Amino acid sequence: METKTAGNVKKSEGWFWRVSVTVIGALVIAAAVLTILGDFRSKAPKVHSRHGPVVQKYADALGIAMQFFDVQKSGKLVNNRISWRGDSGLTDGSEEGLDLSKGMYDAGDSMKFNFPMAFTATMLSWAILEYGDQMNAVKQLRPAQDSLKWITDYLINSHPSPDVLYIQVGDPDLDHKCWQRPESLSSQRPLTQVNTSFPGTEVAAETAAAMASASLVFKKINSTYSSSLLMHAEQLFAFADTYQGSYSVTVPSGQRFYNSSGYGDELLWAASWLYLASADRSYLSYVTVDHGQEFGNWRRPSWISWDDKLPGVQVLLSRIDFFGASEVPIAENLALQMYRETAEMMMCSLPPDSPTATSSRTESGLIWVTEWNSLLHPVGAAFLAILYSDYMLTSGTEALECSGRSYSPGELRDFVTSQVDYVLGENPMKLSYLVGFGENYPQYVHHRGSSIPVDATTGCRDGFKWLNSSAPNPNLAVGALVGGPFQNETYSDSRNNSMQGEPSTYNSGLIVGVLSGLVTSSPVAKSFL
C-alpha cells in the first residue's frame, strides 16, 4: 500500500464546481441512482439491537488492555488501580502558568507528545461511540470514559488561546538520557508550542479531531464539558487550516520521533469529526467538494497510524454514506462515494484469499508493514475492519465485492479475529503480545516505570542499571501492547529491544477499540448524535 505524500499541501479552489456539461449529466444520472440506493437502504432488514453472548476471551483481554492507560497517566492520580504508580508531572506547564500535569506518557519514556496522544484520544472516542454499549456490558465503559477525559483535560489546558497550542512536555534528548520512574523525574520539562508564527497544522488538526470526537462522547453525560470541547475543536481547526505549516518544520526535535509526512489527512480527519459533532455543513463541504480530491488520495488506500489518518477518514465518511447519504447534497455525496470506494479497496486487501489481498503480511497471516512497532498496522487495520463489518451489518449490506469475490460482514469479522488472536498468543512464538494476558507474555518490556522497583532510589544516570539488569521487570506493565514480531515472526524479549518491546499509548487506543468490537456481536448505532 502507498503511504501518504510527504511535504506540505496547500488549499485549492473547489474543483467540483468546475464541471463540464458532460459531468453535469453524470450528476443527474447519479442522483437517480442514489435515490434508488437510498430507497433500497430504507427497506433493508432491521438488525436486532440485543447483544450476542459475551466472548470471554476478548472481554478479559479488553479489561487488561484498558489498564495500560492507568499505567501511563501523569498528574495527581485518582482512584489509582496500578499499585506501583504514583503522582508525577505535577509541575508540568507551571513555568507558563498552565496546568499540564495530566495527559499520558507516550511510551516507555516520560515524554508527552501531543500528536500521538491526541490520536489516542480520537481512537478511544471512536471506540466508545461505536461500542460503548458493549464496553458497558463488560464494565469497561466508565474506565474508558475516565481515561479519555484524563487526556482531554490535558488537551484543553494545552490550548490557552485560539492560535496557541502547547504540543510537547519534556525534551526528548534530556528525557532519554535518564532512566527513571516518572515519580522521581529530575530532568527539565520544557514546553513546546505552535502558534501563528510557528504553525503546526497536523498536531493542531489532530487535537481538533480529538476534541470534536470526545465532545460527542460527553454530550449526554456532561453537556457543559462537551460544549467546551467542541469550542476548542472549532478554534483549533480554524488555526490549523488558516496557518498551514508542518509541525515537523516548526519542531525539529519531533522529526526523530513523530515526524509527519504531510497534514492534508489531519485536516480531513478533523473536519470529518467536526461535521459529525456540530452538523455544520461547511465541514462536510471541506472534506468533499472543497478538498476531497486534493487531500483524499482516492483509490490509493494506505495503513492507519498516528501519522496517516486517511484510512480512518475513509471509513468514517463511509459511515455517513451508509447511514446518512440521503440527507447529503449530490456533489458532496459523489465525494463520499469516492471515500467509500477507497475504504472498500482497503477492506478488500485484508482477507488472505481476496483477489486483491495485500502481500504485506507474515507467513501466518499477520498484517506486517514495518519493523518498528509492527503491531500498529495490523491492529489498526483490524479496528477499521470491525467497524466496516458492523456498518455493513447494521445497514443490511450483505456483501463486499472484491474483484469477483464477495465477502459478508461475518467473513470480514473473521479477518479481524485472525489478527487479534495472533496478538493474544495464536502465533508461532505462542506469545501473547498483550502484557498480562495469558500465561506467556513479555517479561522485559522496554518501560522505565515497569523496570525499576518502587522502593529504588535512582538519579538520572544510575537508573540505567535497571535497563541493563538481567532480571525481569519487577512491575507488570499490565495491558501494554508491545511493538510486536519481526516479519519472520520472531520476538526477542530484551529490555534493550525498544523496536519490538516498547509499548505505546496509541497502540492501546487501537487494541481497546478492536477488542470492544469483538466482546459481543451487536450492530452499531446509526448516529452518534
Whole-number Å distance between alpha carbons of 80 and 109: 20
Q: Point out which residues pair with 112 in neighbouring strands.
A: 169
Asked if residue 373 lies in contact with residue 483, where contact means CB atoms within 8 angstroms, the answer is yes
Measured on CA atoms in the order 312, 315, 320, 326, is the torsion positive or negative?
A: positive
Instruction: Tell the burial category of 148 from Cβ atoms under 10 Å away from its Cβ (0-12, 13-18, 19+).
Output: buried
- The Cα-based distances of 488 to 99, 118, 429 in angstroms read 46, 32, 11
Q: What is the DSSP letter of 4?
A: P
Residue 446 annotated in active site: yes
**Annotated catalytic residue within 159, 232, 446, 447:** 446
Strand order, beta sheet including 165-169: 112-113, 165-169, 191-194
Asked if residue 303 lies in contact with residue 361, where contact means CB atoms within 8 angstroms, the answer is no
Asked if residue 469 lies in contact with residue 36, where contact means CB atoms within 8 angstroms, the answer is no
Whole-number Å distance between alpha carbons of 69 and 510: 12
- The Cα-based distances of 251 to 93, 105, 178, 430 in angstroms read 18, 19, 22, 41
> Which residue shows C-alpha cell 458532460?
22
Asked if residue 339 lies in contact with residue 314, where contact means CB atoms within 8 angstroms, the answer is yes
The residues assigned a catalytic role are 446
